[in-house]
Amino acid sequence: MAMNPKSMASAIINELKDVDKPDDANNKFYKALCDYVEANAQVFYSWAAMTPPIASTPDPTVVLQCKIKTTGSISPSGQTTPDGACAAFSGMLNSQAALWQVQWPAGFVIPPAFILPTITITPSGADNQQSAWEAVCTQIIAGLKLATPGPLPGTHGGFTVPCPGAIFTQII
């Protein structure tokens, strides 16, 4: 399933429904965001590998469908204005960039690649919670789709590639 701002927003709202402390709110928000991305983001790489030492037999795998694995947490910013809160939230998300890793399919040995690009969140001006979160989620998804991790070397069974072997294609 591809990422969708409406379903991402609903997952976040559901996670936040009984929260009354800033620490809990930020941690539950980040958990909901990470859980949603891990369950729904589809990351694609093109793959070109051959049997060594002479490039004679190509690997029949030419597309890798990967997932994203996230870790970390965020803390309350103390901001009280929409502009300040969005700027702080963007900064906290961006500080987690190296903790959003591509999870390669079984059998592939490829160096870790982080996926989170710089994301900027701005206030939506929405007058209800669902619309406000959908605006935030739209910006997060748009930022994720701009990710451009570099090409990576790797192996798959008896097939190997020098750089570039895994070349990022897209996130949906």
How many Å is the maximal CA-CA distance in the chain? 63
User: pLDDT over 90 for what percent of the chain?
Assistant: 37
Q: What is the pTM assigned to this prediction?
A: 0.87
Given a contact cutoff of 8 angstroms between Cβ atoms, the answer to whether 93 and 116 are in contact is: yes
Q: In this structure, which long-range contacts are made by residues 54-63, counting pairs with CB atoms below 8 Å and at least 24 apart in sequence?
A: 57/159, 58/159, 59/156, 59/157, 59/159, 61/156, 61/159, 63/169
Residue 137 Cα distances to 62, 63, 81, 100, 152, angstroms: 31, 28, 19, 17, 29
The lowest-confidence range among 15-24, 91-100, 163-172 is: 163-172
User: Does 163 score more than 60 pLDDT?
Assistant: no
Pairwise pLDDT comparison (114 vs 15), residue with the higher score: 15
User: Does 128 score more than 90 pLDDT?
Assistant: yes
Q: Which residue has the tokens 């990422």?
A: 3
**Tens-place pLDDT, residues 39-66:** 999 999 998 888 876 667 888 999 999 9
Token pair belonging to 79 = 């901001």
